[in-house]
Each structure stands twice: as C-alpha cells, then as structure tokens.
C-alpha cells in the first residue's frame, strides 16, 4: 500500500540474540490479518519453528495494536499481546487484551506492531522514539517492581533531554518525555513465572497467558515508546458521523459504568463501601468515552488504577468464582487498606491477579480440608506458607506473593508455574483431592474459571451456575478465557429478538439447551476475535440493544430496541478506506481464528482436546444436572460444521481454508 490509513505502515521485528532490528512493511500482514490477534496468528504461523516451547528464545512475543488503535474510533485503546502461552497446559498460542495508552503511542511512533524474539545476553529494554529504535541495557531497572520501574525509566529518559524531535515540539502534554509509555515486567516475569503479567502504567496489564514470563525469558525488562506522528483516517468526515452515532447509542444504553465500580458489571457482590471512598477520578484507555476504571488513592500504599477482578482479588476467595460473594469464613470482611495493599503488591511484583484469585481460593479450600496439614505448623512445614489463618493480612500477601514472584522454596517455585502445573505435581504426594479442587476453579486451558457460582450457584450470572452452552463451546475450543473478550454472550439470554439479531436463531436465547448453540458459538467466538483484531472494547461492542436515555429534538424512539451490529464495519471502512460490510469483516475474522486453529493443529490439537475440566461432567449444576457428555459431543459436531472443520478430527478442511485465502496453510497441514 502506498498510503496507509488507520494502519501506519511498518512492523518492528527485534531479534534480541543478534540485536538486529528490522522494519517490515505492514503489507506483509495488513489488511488481510487486520491487526491485534490477526497479527499474532500470522507471525506465529510464519515464524515460530515447530517444536518451540513458550519459554524458548524462538517463541515470538507480539505486541499488537489493532487496526483502529490510535484513531478516534470509540474505545480503541484496548490492544493485544500474544505468543505461545506458558500458562497453557499445552503451550498453545494465546492472546491477552491490555488497555491503556501504549498501543496508540506505538502507532504514533509509526509502527503497527512489535515482534520480539531471541534472548538478550544481558537484561535490556527497548526504546522506540519514532524512527529511532534502540536496545539498551536494563541493568538499572532489573529487579525493580513493575510500577516504580516505569517511573524511574521515564524520569531517566526525560533527564537525557535527547528526544530527536523535541526542538520543534512544545515541552508539554504528550510531547514531554516524562509521559513516555512503557510496558514492563516485575520480578515474577524476570523469574520466568508462567503466571507473570506485563504491566502498563499503574494498573493495566496483559495478565492471562503468562506473557510476562515470556518477556523475562528473553531478558527483556521493558519497552518504552514515544511517538510524535499521527494515525490518519481516510474519510475523517464520515468517521466523525459514524462515531457520533455510536456515542449516542452508548449514551442511550445508559449503563451505569462509573469508576467506583470498575468494569461494566460493578463489583459483583463485593462490598465497595470502603474502596469507593478512595476513588479519585475516572480512568480510561486511549480513545474511550466511558473510562470504566477507577483511580484509587488508599492510605498506606501508592495510588493506582484498578478494575473489578483486581478489586476482588485480595478480598474474596469464595471458592470458585473470582468475583463471587465472600467465603462464609470471611463474610464480615470489608474492602479496606489491606485489600488495596494486596492489589498493588500483585501489580508491583507483576503477578496475574486473576490467577491469584484461583490460588488463594484453592489454598483456602486445601486448608479447610486439612490436605497440607491439620495445624498451621504442619501446613507451613509442607508448603512454606506461614499463618494460613492470616490469609487477607498484609503479612500473608508479602509472604505468598513474594514466594511466587521469586520462586522461593519448592512450593513458591511450583505456584510460579501456575496452579495447573502445581496441582498436577502435588496430587502425586497429597492425593487427587488437590486436583479436584483445582478443576473446580479452572475451566480449561489452565485458565481460572469465569462462569461464576458453580455448583452452589449464587448470583445473577449463568442461570445454571455453569457456563451456558455457548460459553462451554468457547472454553473448550479456544486457548484463553472466552469471557474476557466475549462478555456480550450473556446479553441475549431470554431475549429471542437479540439472539436472532446476532446469532441468526432464537433458540440460542435459551441457556438450558444446546439448540442453536453451535451456530451461536461459532459467531460469538469469531466476533470476539474481530473485537480483538480491529480494536473495539468488548465491554460495549457489539451494540446489541439501545435503551433511550433521553430523546433529542425530533427523535421518536421509545423503549428498548435492537442496536446496530454493523457500526464496526462502518468505522473500519471510513478509517481505512477499505470498504467492508460486517459480513466481510467477519470473514476476515474467520481467517484469523482458522489460522489460530491451524497453529494448534500443527502442535497436535485435535477434537479430543476440545473439552473442559471433568469436574463439570461429574458434578451437578444449580438445576441438578452435570454436563451431558452425549449431548456435548453432538453439539461439538455441529460447531465444527459451522466452522468448516472436519467433525471427526477438528481440523479445518481444505475447502474452508482455501475460501479464506489460506491455501498455503492447507498445504502445510496436508489436508
């Protein structure tokens, strides 16, 4: 492409072993693979040699803004990081969404992505300032926590006063180098923990996947970026018109999304009374008109930004859901300064808070069942964790999180590899109950469960207490927590008109049957990938319904009505100059999910691997029924057919791959 609109024209390839930096023309990847998850899939398929493990130098760590990141498209600030995932039991590729401003800043610097591979001979960081890209020693930052480290790095760079274009720019606003945007790992990542996250600013992180561990395995502490360019839209006038329409629709929805509640659903049953009092302001990603996160300033710990799961992380370990009501043992617990202390500590050490909700819950269950000892002394002897009854104190957080981040002791070392691997090993010594308690909390892919209130079933989420069949299929087929990018799948429950509008059938509104679910799951799975590839936050997209909040003059809308499922395509077309219908964009997303599937097939994934924890087949849901294995296998047949995959094997068919311009992939797979 001679002129780039919405994309900016180059992707950085950084080989840390040879310290060679290459600027690849973006037309190797775009428009065909869109951006975000599409870029990740294309790079992993093309460049990661077969047999590579997640923590090997040859794994690619891809920092992937989406097609629309950096434009004025609504909520384009969420972007993705992907690689072969060390947290996954089979190290399949995965992707983690991260908010904030880094992705947009990278595009202002002139890059549509950064691909990192190899391993540096000493700790380094990458500094990107427009055309100038340097690999620098990180000896002054290695060992620092992931938040203070970012501040020190920005201050040091600002003190150099060597920005190439500063002479022509005002020394303020985002041109001030103190506002450089950084992603950084903490000690957990430095120690290649499989549950380490990559932090950005004071609370944004790529948590799921363990990509902080991949960064640490490459001796890469941070990537700082500052750009002085812009992201152009092909048709700015049309862009503004569509954006105005979208903004009105979101305003019409009148969702109460305010910072004290962190995220679209609020605190989900936690008691927000104390932390709410410490909210200082709203906090949002680049280009977001909502700003769904709170910025907290709580006595005794540094201030920072947080969302719902973080706020629950050190307050609640009910047993199964990360955002469930407090365990009866802790029902009098209030969110307080200690809650915030735990949140901050996890972020500083760079441990995935979502995984910590599982570890804390599992540890407490093991303690209640006396698995590691019937006294605190025995528990400590077997685990190295002292004063288990003090779970919830600052001292306990220091002890446990420190053990994990620094791989201290046998137990700390095990937990640093994630609960899947830890429980698998520990069951040999302590019996299968260790594993059952793990399975209850982790659905599939080594991922912390997100379908709330399993079994004991309290609260308003999935009506059976288990994921509805659409969610079951997405958990089983993917390599990540699907509810982290497909939260919209709950909206059509009991609303046949909404179900029909997005899934093409009314039956999928019934969460108690498999009718219509294969079609629905194939669409939801692919639509989630579209959000992750072109850059729409799934908190608000797709816009399924609009409920007028107030009428403007001349408007006659009354009551709830269906939203507009095509707005993503309208924005994409205006921004890129490439005219696409929503069906064409979905077909591009099918290209991405099929390439992701092909990578996993190449790594050995087959139909029999597409499942979730046995716990859900063996234990009744809220209505007294476990998942029915016969019905489950039948709905899988139908799902594969909708995806164009062979129902016998789960491998994409040649016909489907060729229809997506992936003939080379079909040839490689030998289908």
* Contact (CB, 8 A) for 223 and 182: yes
Alpha carbons 489 and 296: distance in angstroms, whole number: 30
Site string for ligand SF4, 332-351 (x = CB under 6 A): --------------------
Q: Which is nearer to ligand SF4, 291 or 302 (CB)?
A: 291
Nearest to 303 by CA among 312, 293, 313, 291: 293
543 scored as a contact of ligand SF4 (CB under 6 A): no
Determine the distance from the C-alpha atom of residue 171 to the mean position of all C-alpha atoms in its chain, rounded to a whole number.
34
**Shortest distance, CB of residue 200 to ligand SF4, whole angstroms?**
12
CB neighbour class for 266 (10 Å; exposed up to 12, middle 13-18, buried from 19)? middle
Q: Which is nearer to ligand SF4, 72 or 334 (CB)?
A: 72
284 scored as a contact of ligand SF4 (CB under 6 A): yes
Q: Which is nearer to ligand SF4, 66 or 192 (CB)?
A: 66
**Shortest distance, CB of residue 264 to ligand SF4, whole angstroms?**
7
User: Which range of residues in 5-13, 282-290, 320-328, 463-471 is near ligand SF4 by CB under 6 A?
Assistant: 282-290
Q: Which is nearer to ligand SF4, 283 or 436 (CB)?
A: 283
3-state helix, strand, coil in the chain (%, to 5): 40, 15, 45
Instruction: Tell me which of 354, 438, 539, 572 binds ligand SF4, using CB under 6 A.
Output: 539
**Shortest distance, CB of residue 322 to ligand SF4, whole angstroms?**
17
Q: Which is nearer to ligand SF4, 242 or 290 (CB)?
A: 290
Cis-peptide into 542, omega within 30 deg: yes
Alpha carbons 603 and 134: distance in angstroms, whole number: 34
290 scored as a contact of ligand SF4 (CB under 6 A): yes
Q: Which is nearer to ligand SF4, 153 or 290 (CB)?
A: 290
Instruction: Tell me which of 99, 189, 342, 528 binds ligand SF4, using CB under 6 A.
Output: 99
Hey, how many other C-beta atoms are within 10 angstroms of the C-beta on 52? 18
* Contact (CB, 8 A) for 196 and 212: yes
What angle is formed at CA 537 by the lines to CA 532 and CA 543, rounded to 5 degrees? Answer: 110
CB neighbour class for 35 (10 Å; exposed up to 12, middle 13-18, buried from 19)? buried
Contacts to ligand SF4 from residues 621-640, by CB under 6 A: none
Alpha carbons 470 and 473: distance in angstroms, whole number: 5
Residue appearing with tokens 């300032």: 129
Q: CA end-to-end span of the chain, whole Å?
A: 32
**Shortest distance, CB of residue 97 to ligand SF4, whole angstroms?**
8
**Shortest distance, CB of residue 467 to ligand SF4, whole angstroms?**
22
Instruction: Tell me which of 83, 292, 567, 665 binds ligand SF4, using CB under 6 A.
Output: 292
**Shortest distance, CB of residue 289 to ligand SF4, whole angstroms?**
8
Coil, helix or strand at residue 620: coil
**Shortest distance, CB of residue 487 to ligand SF4, whole angstroms?**
11
Residue appearing with tokens 């469930």: 324
**Shortest distance, CB of residue 62 to ligand SF4, whole angstroms?**
20
* Contact (CB, 8 A) for 112 and 26: yes
Site string for ligand SF4, 69-98 (x = CB under 6 A): ------x-xx--------------------
Q: What is the largest CA-CA distance in the chain?
A: 73
Tokens of 105: 């800043």
Contacts to ligand SF4 from residues 297-326, by CB under 6 A: none
**Shortest distance, CB of residue 599 to ligand SF4, whole angstroms?**
27
Q: Which is nearer to ligand SF4, 190 or 283 (CB)?
A: 283
- Please, where are the H alpha helices in 390-446? 394-405, 409-416, 419-430, 433-441
Q: Which is nearer to ligand SF4, 24 or 282 (CB)?
A: 282
Site string for ligand SF4, 212-241 (x = CB under 6 A): ------------------------------
User: Which range of residues in 228-236, 244-252, 290-298, 509-517 is near ligand SF4 by CB under 6 A?
Assistant: 290-298
**Shortest distance, CB of residue 39 to ligand SF4, whole angstroms?**
19
Contacts 24+ apart (CB under 8 A), 273-281: 273/334, 273/335, 274/334, 274/335, 274/336, 274/339, 275/311, 275/335, 275/336, 275/339, 275/340, 278/340
291 scored as a contact of ligand SF4 (CB under 6 A): yes
Residues in the interface with ligand SF4 (CB under 6 A) total 13
Instruction: Tell me which of 288, 308, 444, 498 binds ligand SF4, using CB under 6 A.
Output: 288
Tokens of 539: 């908190």
**Shortest distance, CB of residue 291 to ligand SF4, whole angstroms?**
5
Hey, how many other C-beta atoms are within 10 angstroms of the C-beta on 572? 29
Contacts to ligand SF4 from residues 550-569, by CB under 6 A: none
Contacts to ligand SF4 from residues 479-538, by CB under 6 A: 537
**Shortest distance, CB of residue 344 to ligand SF4, whole angstroms?**
20
Alpha carbons 259 and 282: distance in angstroms, whole number: 5
Instruction: Tell me which of 154, 195, 285, 627 binds ligand SF4, using CB under 6 A.
Output: 285
Distances (CA, A) of 22 to 26, 117, 425, 532: 12, 12, 42, 25
412 scored as a contact of ligand SF4 (CB under 6 A): no
269 secondary structure, DSSP code: T
Coil, helix or strand at residue 495: coil
Q: Which is nearer to ligand SF4, 243 or 657 (CB)?
A: 243
**Shortest distance, CB of residue 257 to ligand SF4, whole angstroms?**
7
Q: Which residues bind ligand SF4 (CB under 6 A)?
A: 75, 77-78, 99, 284-285, 288, 290-293, 537, 539
């Amino acid at each position: 492409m001679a002129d780039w609109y919405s994309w900016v024209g180059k992707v950085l390839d950084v080989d840390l072993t040879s310290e060679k930096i290459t600027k690849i023309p973006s037309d190797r990847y775009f428009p065909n693979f869109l951006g975000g998850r599409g870029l990740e899939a294309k790079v992993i398929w093309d460049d990661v040699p077969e047999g590579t493990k997640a923590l090997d130098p040859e794994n690619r760590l891809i920092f992937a803004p989406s097609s629309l990141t950096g434009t004025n498209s609504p909520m384009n600030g969420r972007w993705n990081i992907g690689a072969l995932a060390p947290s996954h039991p089979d190290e399949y590729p995965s992707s983690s969404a991260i908010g904030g401003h880094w992705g947009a800043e990278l595009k202002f610097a002139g890059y549509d992505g950064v691909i990192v591979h190899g391993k540096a001979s000493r700790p380094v960081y990458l500094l990107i300032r427009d055309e100038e890209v340097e690999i620098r020693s990180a000896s002054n930052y290695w060992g620092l926590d992931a938040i203070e480290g970012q501040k020190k790095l920005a201050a040091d760079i600002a003190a150099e006063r060597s920005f190439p274009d500063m002479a022509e720019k005002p020394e303020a606003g985002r041109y001030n180098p103190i506002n450089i945007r950084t992603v950084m790992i903490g000690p957990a990542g430095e120690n290649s923990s499989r549950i380490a996250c990559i932090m950005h600013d004071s609370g944004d992180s790529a948590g799921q996947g363990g990509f902080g561990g991949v960064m640490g395995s490459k001796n890469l502490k941070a990537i700082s970026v500052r750009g002085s360019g812009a992201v152009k839209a092909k048709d700015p006038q049309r862009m503004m018109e569509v954006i105005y329409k979208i903004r009105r629709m979101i305003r019409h929805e009148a969702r109460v999304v305010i910072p004290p509640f962190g995220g679209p659903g609020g605190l989900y049953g936690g008691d927000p009374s104390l932390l709410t009092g410490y909210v200082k302001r709203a906090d949002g990603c680049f280009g977001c008109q909502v700003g769904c996160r709170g910025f907290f300033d709580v006595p005794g710990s540094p201030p920072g930004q947080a969302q719902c799961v973080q706020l629950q992380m050190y307050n609640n370990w009910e047993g199964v859901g990360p955002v469930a009501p407090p365990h009866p043992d802790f029902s009098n617990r209030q969110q307080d300064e200690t809650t915030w202390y735990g949140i901050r500590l996890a972020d500083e050490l760079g441990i995935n808070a979502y995984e910590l909700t599982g570890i804390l819950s599992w540890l407490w269950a093991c303690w209640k069942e006396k698995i590691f000892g019937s006294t605190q002394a025995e528990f400590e002897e077997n685990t190295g964790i002292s004063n288990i009854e003090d779970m919830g104190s600052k001292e306990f957080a220091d002890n446990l999180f420190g053990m994990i981040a620094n791989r201290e002791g046998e137990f700390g070392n095990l937990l640093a590899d994630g609960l899947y691997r830890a429980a698998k090993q520990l069951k040999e010594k302590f019996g299968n109950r260790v594993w059952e308690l793990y399975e209850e909390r982790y659905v599939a892919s080594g991922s912390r469960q997100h379908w709330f209130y399993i079994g004991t079933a309290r609260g308003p989420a999935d009506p059976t207490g288990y994921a509805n069949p659409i969610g079951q299929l997405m958990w089983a087929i993917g390599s990540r927590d699907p509810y982290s990018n497909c939260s919209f799948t709950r909206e059509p429950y009991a609303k046949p008109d909404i179900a029909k509008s997005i899934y093409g059938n009314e039956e999928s509104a019934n969460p108690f049957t498999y009718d219509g679910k294969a079609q629905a799951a194939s669409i939801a799975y692919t639509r989630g990938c579209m959000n992750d590839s072109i850059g729409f936050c799934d908190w608000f997209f797709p816009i399924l319904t609009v409920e007028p909040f107030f009428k403007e003059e001349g408007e006659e809308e009354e009551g709830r009505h269906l939203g507009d499922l095509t707005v993503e395509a309208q924005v994409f077309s205006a921004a890129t100059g490439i005219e696409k219908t929503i069906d064409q964009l979905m077909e591009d997303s099918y290209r991405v999910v099929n390439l992701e599937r092909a990578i996993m097939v190449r790594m050995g994934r087959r139909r029999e691997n597409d499942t979730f924890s046995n716990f859900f087949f063996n234990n009744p849901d809220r209505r007294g029924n476990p998942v029915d294995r016969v019905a489950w296998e039948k709905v899988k047949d139908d799902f594969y057919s909708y995806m164009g995959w062979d129902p016998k094997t789960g491998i994409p068919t040649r016909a489907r791959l060729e229809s997506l311009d992936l003939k080379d992939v079909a040839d490689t797979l030998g289908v």
